[in-house]
A and B are shown apart, each in its own frame.
Chain A
Amino acid sequence: MSLSSYRYDGSFEGLLSAFAEARLEDAAGPAFSPASAAEGGLLWAAREVPLRPATAAALWRDLVSAGGAEAGRTLTSAWLAEESALEGALYEYCCLTLERRQCLDAWAAQPAIRAVLAAARRVGHEVHRFQGILRFAETQSGWYYAACEPDHNIIALLAPHFVGRLGDQRWAIHDRRRDLVVCWDGQELRPGRAPAAPPAGAAAGPALSEAEVATQSQWRRYHRHIAIDSRRNPRLQRRCLPRRYWPYLTEMQG
């Protein structure tokens, strides 16, 4: 038995590589931290585990064969929550699933499973929320552009919904917090990184088409008139739609 601490490159595959290493060494209560995290506070040095694609893929296959696609989805969603210090719970989730050879998501009283599940659920909720509150704007080039600042790293999970829905138009979803984009050109979904330094004055995104300007003003007008004055309840409105989302909502501008 060893008290071990592992350092991985910050990617999901890197983390799985570290998990595989820890399992091999039968580490008790291992700690995992991404390379970007500050060192310190640790009594023993963390060991670098390099990314090993084949090892990571093998562990992933084992996990999915033990817990099914559902366990795989839970694990990736929880990972995309990007919550610090969740790695320990993710590790325990993997080990328990491999040991019991079934999806344990229903075992909500187990602390690690609960933590992983809660993170996955937060991600799921945010995806669901952005399916509703993401706003596309038609640019002069004919592309539709949507900017957002989600708490979690969700645009990869979000994009397929819009492929199904707006598949006949070309669009890009831009996570401005992480500077990630996914583009759909009508045929293919392409993830990418946004230009590190957006051109000056691009805070509001690219130049809008004429129809876009008219449509936005109509939507704002509609949104204002659909509220019933004698039921005004700004508190409830803010509870359902917290203010931090407003900067990207067409109807909340102007």
Chain B
Amino acid sequence: MTIDQKLAILAESAKYDVSCASSGTTRSGGAGVGSCAVTGICHSWSADGRCVSLLKLLLGNRCIYDCAYCVNRRSNDIPRASLSVAEVVDLTLRFYRRNYIEGLFLSSAVERSPDDTMERLLEVARELRVRHAFQGYIHLKAIPGADPALVRRAGAYADRLSVNIELPSQESLQRLAPQKSKLGILGPMGVIHDGIAEYRAEAVVHRAAPRFAPAGQSTQMVVGASPENDLQILNLSAALYQRYDLKRVYYSAYVPVSTDSRLPALRTPPLEREHRLYQADWLMRLYGFAAQELLSPETPWLDPVLDPKCAWALRHPEAFPVEVATAPYERLLRVPGIGMRSAQRLCSTRRFAALRLEDLTRLGVVLRRAQFFLTVNGRCPAAGAMTPQRLRHCLISGDSARSPWWQPDLFAWRDAQAAPEACACP
């Protein structure tokens, strides 16, 4: 089989992994090739509109496991291939030297055994870093069930490590990925967490401390292949952020790849739901919202037609209006139509001169939405009183007119400077 054929097969097999982030580390110079930019850089966009930043590949797709939701499961009839360590290294360097990519995102199906697979992933990273002094970005998958010692060694070479949590509950995992165990997933996650924590503590004392996954840890779960509701998912994410200090949880709308009776019969992936989850996740990580503020056991699903911040604002009339001339940053962030950028600009510009209503749009505030929730020097820009129903209607029509679900303006790359994770293409 030629390398071209392998490349096609293993890109096909890798494409359901969603992370594309290349941010969070700086590396530079030295004898070899490469550097990392702290904000991350997108290099291209594929026909599905997702950004391409890393060469995303599986080392091999001959899986001995049989996870129902996965294209690479053993029982699936697809072409199989494996790349050699040298082939991946060579391809990465050739692409990198032409500025096609920020680096490598290497994962693998479980071939032979978890340890065997993990060892080969490790070998690729070691070759790149040690033999070729490669300073580009490397994201490695930790294989569930692999020896913790191997996972620890991977941390010395990789910028980011991730273990896929796969599904939002243990029951679903048991049903759909019977060979995987909660422990096999959380174990490596814990090892990575500890490695990062030790590295950070040591780096405070001496700067030359050996690095360990300096861009942190992330994970991914499939949404819509199992019955969990949005509240369960957000609670799990919140717990993962807290317990394992993850940089990101990625959500991947289940793409129907199987007619297995254990899976729902979907015609298309639930992209809208995925989008709302990303918005809610964004609010939890960067806007100071708690999962319980966004959803409750009585209303455990995110509103499909209204973004979660507007939905929260409608449920909490007592929190408004917010006076933009004086309100602290955190309160500004809660106003629909004010994002991180505009909140920062409001805070900084009012140090120089008093804010006027006509300044708001120029500072990036989306007045069409924000007008109902704020006052400027005591004056409310919205005319007349509003019933909650009418307000909801106004927000929805504004929402869908300006940003249909496929156009996630929350995630626009322009937020790069403000956001710790530059590209958040869902």
Interface residues of B in 48-98 (CB under 8 A from A): 48-53, 55-56, 91, 94-95, 97-98
* Residue-wise interface mask of A (87-102) relative to B, using a CB-CB cutoff of 8 A (1 in contact, 0 not): 0000000000000000
* C-alpha gap A135/B100 in the complex (Å): 7
| Beta-carbon contact of A138 and B52 below 8 Å | no
Main secondary structure of the interface of A (DSSP, over half): helix
Decide yes or no: A226 and B11 within 8 Å by CB, A218-B91, A219-B100, A231-B269 being known contacts: yes
Interface residues of B in 343-366 (CB under 8 A from A): 345, 348-349, 351-353, 355-356, 359, 362-363
| Beta-carbon contact of A241 and B15 below 8 Å | no
In the complex, what residues of B have CB within 8 A of residue A137's CB? 98
B10 (CB) vs chain A CBs: closest residue: A225
In the complex, what residues of A have CB within 8 A of residue B165's CB? none
CB of B28 within 8 A of chain A? yes
The total of Cβ contacts below 8 Å across the A-B interface reads 166
CB of A244 within 8 A of chain B? no
In the complex, what residues of B have CB within 8 A of residue A250's CB? 98, 100
CB of A234 within 8 A of chain B? yes
The stretch of A21-29, A49-57, A106-114, A193-201 in contact with B is A106-114
In the complex, what residues of B have CB within 8 A of residue A224's CB? 47
A102 (CB) vs chain B CBs: closest residue: B352
* C-alpha gap A241/B48 in the complex (Å): 12
* Residue-wise interface mask of A (194-238) relative to B, using a CB-CB cutoff of 8 A (1 in contact, 0 not): 000000000000000001000101110111111111111111110
| Beta-carbon contact of B4 and A218 below 8 Å | yes
| From A110, A132, A231, contact of B48 by CB (8 A) | A231
| Beta-carbon contact of A233 and B48 below 8 Å | yes
* C-alpha gap A167/B34 in the complex (Å): 8
| From B45, B97, B268, B351, contact of A241 by CB (8 A) | B45
In the complex, what residues of A have CB within 8 A of residue B277's CB? none
In the complex, what residues of A have CB within 8 A of residue B42's CB? 132, 240
| Beta-carbon contact of A109 and B269 below 8 Å | no
CB of A85 within 8 A of chain B? no
In the complex, what residues of B have CB within 8 A of residue A185's CB? none
In the complex, what residues of A have CB within 8 A of residue B326's CB? none
For B, the interface residue count at a CB cutoff of 8 angstroms equals 63
Main secondary structure of the interface of B (DSSP, over half): loop
In the complex, what residues of B have CB within 8 A of residue A73's CB? none
| Beta-carbon contact of A221 and B4 below 8 Å | yes
In the complex, what residues of A have CB within 8 A of residue B37's CB? 131, 161
| From B35, B49, B352, contact of A164 by CB (8 A) | B35
Instruction: State the Cβ distance, B383 to closest chain A Cβ, in Å.
Output: 24
Among B42, B268, B425, chain A packs the most CB atoms within 10 A around the CB of B42
Query: How many of chain A's residues touch chain B, expressed as a range?
Result: 35 or more
Instruction: State the Cβ distance, B345 to closest chain A Cβ, in Å.
Output: 5
Among B34, B48, B52, B425, chain A packs the most CB atoms within 10 A around the CB of B48
CB of B287 within 8 A of chain A? no
| Beta-carbon contact of B363 and A108 below 8 Å | yes
* Residue-wise interface mask of A (126-149) relative to B, using a CB-CB cutoff of 8 A (1 in contact, 0 not): 001001111111100000101000
| Beta-carbon contact of A135 and B98 below 8 Å | yes
Among A128, A133, A135, chain B packs the most CB atoms within 10 A around the CB of A128
CB of A104 within 8 A of chain B? yes
In the complex, what residues of A have CB within 8 A of residue B44's CB? 132-133, 223, 241, 249, 251
Show the binding face of B for A, using Cβ within 8 Å.
Answer: 3-4, 7-8, 11-12, 14-16, 28-29, 31-35, 37, 39, 41-53, 55-56, 91, 94-95, 97-100, 253, 255-256, 268-269, 271, 345, 348-349, 351-353, 355-356, 359, 362-363, 406-407, 413-414, 416, 425
9 contacts between A and B (CB under 8 A): A107-B349, A135-B99, A161-B37, A162-B99, A165-B33, A168-B32, A228-B16, A231-B269, A236-B406
Q: Identify the 3 closest CB pairs spanning chains A and B, nearest first.
A: A236-B49, A106-B348, A227-B46
13 A-B pairs besides A131-B41, A134-B99, A234-B47 with CB distance below 8 A are: A108-B349, A109-B352, A132-B43, A164-B35, A221-B4, A223-B44, A223-B46, A226-B56, A227-B47, A227-B50, A233-B406, A236-B407, A237-B49
